């Protein structure tokens, strides 16, 4: 894992932290800020989340093209969706806050290019 701090982050975020993660040869570049006491994810690989994604609770991240309905259907009965954010520009990344972490991501994997979840 490589970590960098930029004094002048992407607008409107003046003090963003950028981290590169290499996962089996695929590099993901993420950046975020702290707003008050809350960490926010601002972008993944240059795809910006306009309002930021709060890094708290259970968050399901996935990359796909037009997969909101299939993913929501796949999660029906398995997860309570609390909020949803979609990126703008670049790759199509999505973040879903869910009430409880999923025990198995297989139901979602068939509808997306990449999926992972974090619990904070």
Q: Look at residue 8 in the predicted model and tell me its pLDDT.
A: 47
pLDDT band at 9 (very low <50, low <70, confident <90, very high): very low
Number of structural domains in the chain: 1
pTM over 0.85: no
Domain limits for position 50? 2-119
Say if residue 13's pLDDT is above 90: no
> What's the token pair of residue 112?
């997306």
Per-residue pLDDT tens digits for 37-55: 999 999 999 999 999 999 9
Query: 38 versus 10: which is more confidently predicted?
Result: 38
Per-residue pLDDT tens digits for 61-114: 999 877 677 787 888 888 888 999 999 988 999 999 999 999 999 988 988 989
- How far is 21 from 67, CA to CA, in rounded Å? 24
**3-state DSSP call for residue 110?**
coil
3-state helix, strand, coil in the chain (%, to 5): 10, 50, 40
């Amino acid at each position: 894992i490589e970590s960098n701090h930029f004094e002048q982050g992407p607008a409107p975020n003046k003090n963003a932290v950028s981290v590169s993660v290499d996962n089996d040869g695929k590099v993901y570049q993420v950046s975020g800020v702290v707003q008050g006491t809350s960490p926010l994810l601002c972008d993944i690989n240059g795809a910006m989340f306009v309002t930021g994604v709060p890094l708290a609770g259970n968050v399901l991240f996935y990359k796909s093209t037009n997969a909101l309905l299939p993913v929501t259907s796949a999660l029906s009965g398995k997860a309570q969706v609390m909020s949803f954010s979609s990126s703008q520009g670049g790759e199509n990344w999505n973040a879903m806050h869910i009430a409880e972490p999923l025990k198995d991501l297989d139901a979602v994997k068939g509808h997306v290019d990449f999926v992972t979840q974090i619990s904070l």
